[in-house]
Structure 1
């Protein structure tokens, strides 16, 4: 099957990539800001760390369900129109979070945010696959993945600072405003992307096509890598802020500076890792960064009482490693399916990532408890499990390749 990559002038390509990065920025900020807000939410609603992890996992589970359902329709529509529609619903979900009167309504609003925002990442990656030649997709993914850095540098610190002065709901109001502005820019700048619609797919073929995605052995290997990679991070990330506050003695307002330090580092590292992935190969770069990430994971989950300055010096290593390994992995994922099934495959992959995130956050919360001194205990076990899963992903990534040429499971080649 021939490629459907659509060339754009370099200047417009850069603008499109940065618009996609800003779109992804709002999604990542929406997800990330719940974590440093955990101490404030625990006090405002009189809840435990496990309850906060439940809210995080509610988003992830619903995002996974949304991604799975989206794989049935994502390749049936113009990418631009679908992106704008889902982004508008995502904006409404943040408004619902902002006006939530109690924790139960907030959890339901987070579930709505997961349903709407969960599919945006796969749409963005499908657009990259349609617009960017394979030899430059690592760099393009690096640009879009700077959204993680922007969220850590600007989004999360600003949200935490606003929450400290104006209440926990203020970051969500900020997200509504930013999303409206970015939506307007995307509406004006994004080109129509209907090149993948080579043949209208009858509704009767949608479910068989979805099942067919899971009959390809190469797809299954890629899905497993996606899920395990995200699970390792979410065993650790949602509990960083409560641990720093309760165990290390960091003030809630000072969490801003910790995330700012980490975000500044990833702002520079994301594009460098993307270019490195193009030169050296996504599999090799993933192995190196994932192996390195074990060290900061273990230190984070076994951190002694240290000054705030020391936490700020360490956190860039953690953020660079955890976010950096996602760049070669996502670039690798765009090469797995054939172009006409790229959207459905990436949507399914996104769904499995969200399920992995949800399971990691939920399981991580189950293993934690508050001791008699008010400290969070059990975090070290989370770190050991995350390290073991990371080692598995390092070994497994070598099995993930161009599955578009692979035969479905059970199908034999004819000599």
Structure 2
């Protein structure tokens, strides 16, 4: 009984830490593009900020997984959150002192992304040590709902409003959120399983995790599918702030409000995801998600009406939450604990590595084809992905 109560309290602390840090993250996600767009209207430079934050996944993603399987995952999350808080505080000071520049912003976003590679990998691997296997799907759904409410629904308009009030304010807010989240995770008392000391080197550890992922047909298919899908998704959404301003003709506050429609869909998805998983096969839900993603890009490429854009973003938000809940729970259940950090990092390398490449290409595509160009490209590529992944996903 005491163990169950302790587990519930520890999950509550992780849950609260997730809520706090996600509010801060959402504020920065909304304010970051506005800060860069205030300095330049060059699509390549605007998209470069997103690329700078995603680049560490390409450079350090596999290394972060190896360390998550070697050291105390809880302490790793705490340390990284403290460091990210300090980095954001420095950015807020530079903005307030009017010395911030695009290179400084890129450097800060790169460091935030570097911290994210370690914190996200360790957090996903830490959860099964706190939550029983039979509760993982429910716990992941709660975390996804919290992410949606905090990061997408509440934080985006808050970030835009804080930026309009004072450009440094959203980044100072995020700095505090990271420090609070670190304090909450530090109080988790249910100790995770002690990881066995590693007698191999990092290279061998990394190879073992990559090999395990590549030998698992369903997870390999999901990783490869999302890697390519994220290239075109992030190519389009890296310049979304310009798309909103130029195509939909909305203000900064309107941009933040539009982002909340995606969050509304995510919240709906978090509520219905467990029920859908009980009633429908995973392969049907995953295939439906690919169709939704294709239609989202197509609609955004065609429309100039913010109401239509809002409607499709709601549907897209439902898809991302349902898809994410299925995939994360699957990994946590089928991957051995001693390999979970490395397999997760290998999966995220493909997932977020594609996002980094897309963010880099998005600015170039928008410069050459206009702000709707990346959405047209994304729609075509997603259609091809649907055809290629349809059969392999039958085993999901």
TM-score (norm 1): 0.82
Q: CA deviation at 1:310?
A: 4.8
CA deviation vs aligned residue, 1:88-117 (integer Å, no higher than 9, x gap): 122123223334411111101111111112
Q: Name segments (4+ residues, structure 1) moved above 4 Å.
A: 6-10, 219-222, 308-311
Q: Cα RMSD (Å) of the superposition?
A: 2.9
Q: Aligned partners of 1:338, 1:114: CA distance in 2, in Å?
A: 26
8 A contact 2:43–2:364 mirrored in 1: no
CA deviation vs aligned residue, 1:218-253 (integer Å, no higher than 9, x gap): 265454244234334313322222111111211222
For 2:362, the equivalent position in structure 1 comes to 364
Question: Which range is displaced more, 279-288 or 85-94?
Answer: 279-288
Q: Aligned partners of 2:80, 2:390: CA distance in 1, in Å?
A: 36
For 1:261, the equivalent position in structure 2 comes to 261
Q: CA deviation at 1:382?
A: 3.0
Q: CA deviation at 1:69?
A: 1.3
Q: CA deviation at 1:153?
A: 1.1
Q: Does 1:210 pair with 2:206? A: yes
For 1:404, the equivalent position in structure 2 comes to none
Unaligned runs of 5+ in 1: 1-5, 402-415
Larger helix percent = 2
Q: Aligned partners of 1:321, 1:251: CA distance in 2, in Å?
A: 27
Write out aligned runs for 1:113-262 (5 A): 113-146=112-145, 147-167=147-167, 169-189=168-188, 191-193=190-192, 195-197=193-195, 199-202=196-199, 204-216=200-212, 217-218=215-216, 220-262=220-262
Q: Aligned partners of 1:47, 1:190: CA distance in 2, in Å?
A: 49
8 A contact 1:283–1:329 mirrored in 2: no
Q: CA deviation at 1:385?
A: 3.8
For 2:97, the equivalent position in structure 1 comes to none
Pick the aligned partner of 1:57 from 51, 54, 61.
51
8 A contact 1:16–1:190 mirrored in 2: no
Q: Does 1:303 pair with 2:297? A: no
Q: Aligned partners of 2:258, 2:358: CA distance in 1, in Å?
A: 23
Q: CA deviation at 1:290?
A: 2.6
Q: CA deviation at 1:124?
A: 1.6
CA deviation vs aligned residue, 1:26-61 (integer Å, no higher than 9, x gap): 575266325xx535522x322411111111011101
Q: Cα distance 1:321–1:243, how it changes in 2: closer, same or farther (>3 A)?
A: same
Q: Aligned partners of 1:183, 1:255: CA distance in 2, in Å?
A: 30
Q: Cα distance 1:30–1:395, how it changes in 2: closer, same or farther (>3 A)?
A: farther
Q: Cα distance 1:23–1:391, how it changes in 2: closer, same or farther (>3 A)?
A: farther
8 A contact 1:210–1:344 mirrored in 2: yes
8 A contact 1:297–1:386 mirrored in 2: no
Q: How many residues align?
A: 384
Q: Cα distance 1:275–1:229, how it changes in 2: closer, same or farther (>3 A)?
A: farther
Q: Cα distance 1:376–1:205, how it changes in 2: closer, same or farther (>3 A)?
A: closer
For 1:78, the equivalent position in structure 2 comes to 72
Q: Cα distance 1:343–1:40, how it changes in 2: closer, same or farther (>3 A)?
A: closer
